[in-house]
Chains A and B, each alone.
Chain A
Amino acid sequence: MAKLRTGDTALDFTLPATDGKTYNLHDAFKNARAVAVVFTCNHCPYAIAWEDRINAIARDYAIQGVRLFAINANNASTHPADSFENMAKRASEKHFAFPYLHDESQSVARSYGAERTPEFFIFDAAKTLRYHGAPDDNYEDEHAVKHHYAREALDAILAEREPALPETKPVGCSIKWKS
């Protein structure tokens, strides 16, 4: 269960990204109408299955003032596919439309209480958590999705409404913690 609950305020972080820059979460709110933080990774088949859809969310909502950050907190010593070098490779190959951040110490994932990849935390402009959970309801087939949870939550936030589903169960691989 995530430590951060809907209604809570975004916990700030500063993390390096694969584009060579360093990003601060609270800075992102200065010009954003909503901010999505997604814990994800390179190796997990669920994360890979949802990757293009997450990228599409970042692209589609950027014009509406939504910022999306993806964070990989996995232990790369047990899962080498999640090394920073491999993250950079993936971001380049897939033309990620969002900063892909490395939480090497895993402190951000721990403070948020993130458990799965992928796992969304979506905040409104006041830095309040409005949605936590899965990207949508079908990891296997994007054409069979009935509920686009993250998109529906963003649409609600942008329309200054409460998301109809503020919480769904994240589905995916567990974050690979350092012992």
Chain B
Amino acid sequence: MPKVEFLYWADCPSHERALALLHEVIAEEQIQASIEIIEVKTEAEAEQYQFYGSPTIRIDGGDIAPLTEYSTMPSLTCRAYRRADGRISPLPPHELIVAAFRRASTL
């Protein structure tokens, strides 16, 4: 069973939709997993968790997506994700979450 961590900062509005998306992928892929939800509240915690923005999803310790040029240091901020078409979004793309689970299952 993969270890899934969902880290978020409450001030960034995308976390609820991102968590729903994560649950959706887990259901679609029929993955047995429980999600550890971690609220990052301070800059010190952002540093401690190596949190580059909200939301951040890790599967077995690995981030689901590479950092973009907009996320250069751990910080309480919204995270930028690059979509397949190159556009930037505050939400992790569905296909990135799926790919991360599939990678984790083959390790």
Interface residues of A (CB under 8 A from B): 42-46, 48-49, 78-81, 139-140, 171-174, 176
Report the bound CA distance from A45 to B91 in whole Å.
9
| Interchain Cβ contacts under 8 Å between A and B, 13 examples | A43-B70, A44-B70, A44-B78, A44-B80, A45-B70, A46-B90, A48-B88, A49-B90, A78-B75, A79-B77, A140-B91, A172-B78, A174-B12
Given A78-B75, A173-B78, A49-B70 contact (CB < 8 Å):
no
- CB of B105 within 8 A of chain A? no
Contact, CB under 8 Å: A49 / B78: no
B43 to chain A: closest residue by CB: A78
- CB of B72 within 8 A of chain A? yes
Contact, CB under 8 Å: A140 / B89: yes
For B72, list chain A residues within 8 Å (CB). 80-81
Interface string of B3-17 (1 = CB under 8 A from A): 000000001111000
- Picked from A45, A80, A174, A176, the residue with its CB within 8 Å of the CB of B80 is A45
- CB of B69 within 8 A of chain A? yes
Contact, CB under 8 Å: A45 / B75: no
Interface SS of chain A: loop
Report the bound CA distance from A171 to B14 in whole Å.
10
**Chain B interface size range:** 20 to 34
Report the bound CA distance from A174 to B78 in whole Å.
9
Report the bound CA distance from A140 to B93 in whole Å.
11
Contact, CB under 8 Å: A46 / B78: yes
Contact, CB under 8 Å: A43 / B13: no
Report the bound CA distance from A48 to B91 in whole Å.
13
Report the bound CA distance from A171 to B78 in whole Å.
12
For B13, list chain A residues within 8 Å (CB). 171-172
- CB of B51 within 8 A of chain A? no
Contact, CB under 8 Å: B87 / A43: no
Interface string of B52-68 (1 = CB under 8 A from A): 00000000000000000
Which 9 A-B pairs have CB atoms at the shortest separation, nearest pair first? A45-B80, A45-B90, A48-B88, A173-B78, A43-B70, A45-B88, A174-B11, A45-B78, A46-B90
